[in-house]
Structure 1
Amino acid sequence: MVVAQLPAQAAVACRVDYAVASQWSGGFTGNVTVRNLGDPVDGWRLTWNFTAGQRISQAWNATATQSGTVVTAVDAGYNAAIPSGGSTTFGFNASSGTVNPAPGDFALNGVACTGAPATPTPTASPTASPTVSPTVSPTPTPTPTPTGPTTPPASYPAPGRVTGDIGVHDPTVVRRPGGGYLMAHTGDNVALKTSTDRVNWRNAGSVFPGGAPWTTPYTGGARNLWAPDISYHNGQYYLYYSASSFGSTNSAIFLATSPTGASGSWTDRGLVISTTASSNYNAIDPNLIVDDQGRWWMSFGSFWSGIKLIELDPATGKRLNTTVRSIAARPGSTAIEAPFIVKRGGYYYQWVSFDRCCNGAASTYRVMVGRSTSVTGPYVDRNGVAMTSGGGTQVLAGHGSIHGPGHQAVLADTDGELLVYHYYADNGASLLGINRIGYDSAGWPFVY
């Protein structure tokens, strides 16, 4: 790979925050945040030395190469500009030697990152360096860097910039092990989209291009499959998806897996849980969470008696026992659905959607959250109200031309956490929304 000459900078000064996010036998995941303390940078190249036998295998939000002990990470284009006082974050997987010390000799565009202003020394044009072939990491999911504002904005932000094929409903996104993103959302035979940069999205077919006839007893013959949940574990993509019809509890959640995530590559693994017309809860809107002990749990539910939690067998991804726990409900209203549980710090955060979806610009969906120190609850909101008693702290609601934002998912990326959701435009179109997530001083999330 030949790296182009970067533009000279008037004054370069920087600090690098380096952290090992996870480690396993023979390898590790690293997170790097470059903080620009000088003039604006338009194009960056960060170098450092691995002196203990470490070898880069893959990177995200940057292109990384290694020649001997010297590692060179170059911007990914969309993150080339770093304003004065700004920062950018990227991550990588690497094999490790017998020890794994942190490097301390970072240089940005040829200038050492000492944390103090400096004037760059002219450097020669970089020359070609070999690209190390990527390998599959046993832990491809990056850990978010805990940076960002701690004070919520005065009003709800507009969705972040997205382009391309952004007509979605009930989106869920996973970062791919080799970089880029895969989205699944409600659609015929479960719709797929891909993106290289989290901004520009392209249609990528469907999970089951030949159809999913095993679901039609729950859909009344329709091909539209709802509210998927996508994640990556053990070298496979896992997709939980729903089959139902509007206003019915004759519903089911199924599991499919794929080694690549591509349309047509998915193998259906069968039924996980179902409900009938006489059930008091609804088997749709699944979400998988793996707890700190490595146990697998699936939250799900829509209206009726609310949100439920069951334990899954990590070996199969299917139901482990017959226990069904209640973890959130809205007595009286019943309008709660779309659970999504994530772990951050000492808490499990349960995100849900309140009120009415699927009515175009008249939709009243809004995003709520509660938290617990245990994945099984009890979950409470900021005021201590139990989520099983209607509690929930509002994080996002309709504002301006953004109507009914909801059916949220949380994406933990190398540059922090993001809330992924759909909303309705003034014309009733259902569109993709993405905002960053910050946490206040008490550890409650907000979007910005």
Structure 2
Amino acid sequence: MNIKTIILTTATVLSVNIQAQSLRHTDIPATDTLMVHDPVMAFDGKRYHVFSTGHGIQHAISNNRKSWTLAGPVMSVIPQWTHDSVPGFKKHVWAPDIIRHRGKWWMAYSCSTFGKNTSAIGLMSADRLEPGTIWNDHGAIVCSKGKRDNWNAIDPNFVIDGNGEAWLAYGSFWDGIQIVRLDTSMHIAKGEKPHTIARRKTDGNANPVEAPFIFKHDGYYYLFVSWDYCCRGMESTYKVAVGRSRHVAGPYTGPDGKDMNEGGGLVIFEGDKKKLEAAGHCAVYRFDNEDIFICHGYSIARNGASILIEKTITWDDKGWPVLK
């Protein structure tokens, strides 16, 4: 499948209480040459929606995943609790995730400041995804605090296990990727505590692993993560690795059996140094009877600007994903 690009312009925060204002997204011409960062995707039965990092969470809509229309930011009002919980956080919301579960749409999002692990993952819900949708604020799912926690509450990913229970994977650097079981309100279940499912110690104490996404296929849970460094344009070194487990809570291992807690995993996508310098922060879905992989990549032609990548997943004879 050809690479598709989504460029999301820096926009003024316009969204919710949490309530999204009605946006005249049809006034913006559809295009397939737009930029995005930390993308996730949803299909509402009519159209595809991409949500991504940006002021108030950026949003784009498509009928065919080829031509996209900007829909404006999702949030016009950032909840006050986010500012109270994360000093320095204002309106640049990172790395959302979106899932349909128990009859409604749930969106998690990251509130943080660069290089610090005093962070929070917020939660909101809605009945639909159209611009003008009213999103309900459900506060924080989980918070981290510097000098208290050795993990970072950003980069959320929802996953539903084989019993219909919801889990949240999250994390960036520090002690790596965490997972925890949620209750029916999509908050951490009573008595549950997060535990680490992927680490990658390099350069002394650095642990460059983040942005988990768990996808179930043929009896396995596949944990996709990003290794190395994002957000540096042409200096970025991002790449995507994957491991798998029979159990949503792990342990996850690579093809050689090495635990992802010990740096295991198979690199399946990275910059080719021709079109992309680096690529990462992925999501995986089954749409239209095919498995697809999306992420952002740092475009060489655009001097390191971040563009949406979409590729088809096939599976090799041992059950490992191959990108086409």
For residue 232 of structure 2, the aligned residue among 346, 359, 381 is 359
For residue 413 of structure 1, the aligned residue among 284, 287, 301 is 287
For residue 92 of structure 2, the aligned residue among 208, 224, 228 is 224
Q: Deviations over 1:83-102 (max 9, x none)?
A: xxxxxxxxxxxxxxxxxxxx
Deviation at 1:158, TM superposition (A): 6.0
For residue 246 of structure 2, the aligned residue among 355, 363, 373 is 373
TM-score, normalization by structure 2: 0.86
CA RMSD of aligned residues (A): 1.6
Deviation at 1:192, TM superposition (A): 1.1
Superposed, 1:29-428 pairs within 5 Å as 159-160=3-4, 163-164=31-32, 166-176=34-44, 178-217=45-84, 218=86, 220-264=88-132, 265-278=134-147, 279-313=149-183, 315-321=184-190, 322-332=192-202, 333-399=206-272, 400-426=274-300, 427-428=303-304
Partners of 2:5 and 2:307 within 8 A in 1: no
SS in 2 for 1:211: coil
Alpha-carbon distance in 2 for matches of 1:166, 1:316: 35
Relative CO higher for 1 or 2, CA cutoff 8 Å, sep ≥ 6? 2
Aligned positions, number: 290
What amino acid is aligned across from residue 351 of structure 1 in structure 2?
A: F
Q: Deviations over 1:134-191 (max 9, x none)?
A: xxxxxxxxxxxxxxxxxxxxxxx86247743631100000111x32111110001111
Q: Deviations over 1:287-340 (max 9, x none)?
A: 000000111100000001100001101x21111133212111112340000000
Partners of 1:353 and 1:408 within 8 A in 2: yes
SS in 2 for 1:268: strand
SS in 2 for 1:200: coil
Partners of 2:151 and 2:171 within 8 A in 1: yes
Deviation at 1:286, TM superposition (A): 0.4
Q: Deviations over 1:188-246 (max 9, x none)?
A: 11111111111111111222123333322426142101000011123311101000000
What amino acid is aligned across from residue 272 of structure 1 in structure 2?
A: I
Partners of 1:165 and 1:202 within 8 A in 2: no
Listed as ranges, the gaps of 5+ residues in structure 2 are 7-30
Alpha-carbon distance in 2 for matches of 1:199, 1:437: 17
Deviation at 1:359, TM superposition (A): 0.2
Alpha-carbon distance in 2 for matches of 1:428, 1:436: 24
Partners of 1:286 and 1:299 within 8 A in 2: yes
What amino acid is aligned across from residue 234 of structure 1 in structure 2?
A: R
Alpha-carbon distance in 2 for matches of 1:194, 1:158: 19
What amino acid is aligned across from residue 291 of structure 1 in structure 2?
A: D
Q: Deviations over 1:393-415 (max 9, x none)?
A: 01001011212210000021123
Partners of 2:4 and 2:308 within 8 A in 1: no
Q: Which residue of 1 aligns with 2:320?
A: 444
Alpha-carbon distance in 2 for matches of 1:269, 1:228: 15
Alpha-carbon distance in 1 for matches of 2:87, 2:106: 22
Alpha-carbon distance in 2 for matches of 1:259, 1:306: 33
Alpha-carbon distance in 2 for matches of 1:379, 1:199: 34
Q: Which residue of 1 aligns with 2:310?
A: 434
Alpha-carbon distance in 1 for matches of 2:115, 2:249: 27
Structure ID, larger Rg? 1
Q: Residues 180 and 389 from structure 1, CA distance in 2 versus in 1: closer, same or farther, beyond 3 angstroms? A: same
Q: Which residue of 1 aligns with 2:19?
A: none
Alpha-carbon distance in 2 for matches of 1:206, 1:161: 18
SS in 2 for 1:205: coil
Deviation at 1:382, TM superposition (A): 0.9
Alpha-carbon distance in 2 for matches of 1:298, 1:174: 17
Q: Which residue of 1 aligns with 2:27?
A: none
Alpha-carbon distance in 1 for matches of 2:271, 2:217: 26
Partners of 1:172 and 1:183 within 8 A in 2: yes
What amino acid is aligned across from residue 391 of structure 1 in structure 2?
A: G
Partners of 1:209 and 1:263 within 8 A in 2: no
What amino acid is aligned across from residue 229 of structure 2 in structure 1?
A: R
Q: Residues 301 and 363 from structure 1, CA distance in 2 versus in 1: closer, same or farther, beyond 3 angstroms? A: same
TM-score, normalization by structure 1: 0.63
* Identical counterparts, % of pairs: 38
SS in 1 for 2:68: strand
Alpha-carbon distance in 2 for matches of 1:253, 1:210: 16
